[in-house]
C-alpha cells in the first residue's frame, strides 16, 4: 500500500533501525520505545489488522513469532523474559494499520497491561 508507513519501510523508502530481516518479515527498533528493548516485527506483505488474517496467513504469523524469539535471544532478554503484543484496532491502541508484533524486554513487565 502506497500510503502505509510500514510498507514504505519494506520498500526501503523509509529506513528504520533494522535488527532482523528475511524473505517474509522485517524487524526494527520502535521510534518510541516503551522498554529498554522494543522492536517491531512486521510482515513484508500488507495486512491491516489481526481481523484481516486468514488461514493462508498461518505460516506467516508463525514466522513473526520465530523472528521475535530470535531477536529476544540476540538482544539478551530471552531468559529473563520478554513480552509480545499485537494491538488490534483503536480500543487496543493500534495506531499503525499494518500488523506488527511488539517485542518488549529489558525490564519487569506489569500485568494487567494498561
C-beta closer to ligand DGP: residue 17 or 74: 17
Q: Does 27 contact ligand DGP by CB under 6 A? A: no
Q: Write the burial class of residue 44 (CB in 10 Å: 0-12 exposed, 13-18 middle, 19+ buried).
A: middle
Chain position whose Cβ is nearest to ligand DGP: 31
Q: Which of 28, 71, 83, 105 binds ligand DGP (CB under 6 A)?
A: 28
Q: Does 94 contact ligand DGP by CB under 6 A? A: yes
Report d(CA 21, CA 92) in Å as an integer.
27
Q: Does 43 contact ligand DGP by CB under 6 A? A: no
C-beta closer to ligand DGP: residue 55 or 112: 112
Q: Does 87 contact ligand DGP by CB under 6 A? A: yes
Could you list the active site residues? 100
Residue 107 corresponds to which cell in the numbers above?
525490564
Residue 29 to residues 8, 51, 52, 101, Cα–Cα distance (Å): 15, 25, 24, 12
Q: Does 36 contact ligand DGP by CB under 6 A? A: no
Q: Which residues in this chain contact ligand DGP in the complex, by CB under 6 A? A: 5, 16, 28-32, 40, 87, 93-96
Amino acid at each position: 500500500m502506497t500510503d502505509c508507513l510500514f510498507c514504505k519501510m519494506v520498500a526501503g523508502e523509509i529506513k528504520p533501525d533494522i535488527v532482523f530481516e528475511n524473505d517474509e518479515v522485517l524487524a526494527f527498533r520502535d521510534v518510541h520505545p516503551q522498554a529498554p528493548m522494543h522492536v517491531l516485527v512486521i510482515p513484508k506483505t500488507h495486512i491491516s489488522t489481526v481481523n484481516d488474517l486468514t488461514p493462508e496467513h498461518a505460516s506467516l504469523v508463525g514466522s513473526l513469532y520465530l523472528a521475535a524469539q530470535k531477536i529476544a535471544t540476540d538482544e539478551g532478554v530471552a531468559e529473563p523474559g520478554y513480552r509480545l503484543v499485537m494491538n488490534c484496532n483503536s480500543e487496543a491502541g493500534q495506531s499503525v494499520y499494518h500488523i506488527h508484533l511488539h517485542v518488549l524486554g529489558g525490564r519487569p513487565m506489569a500485568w494487567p497491561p494498561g
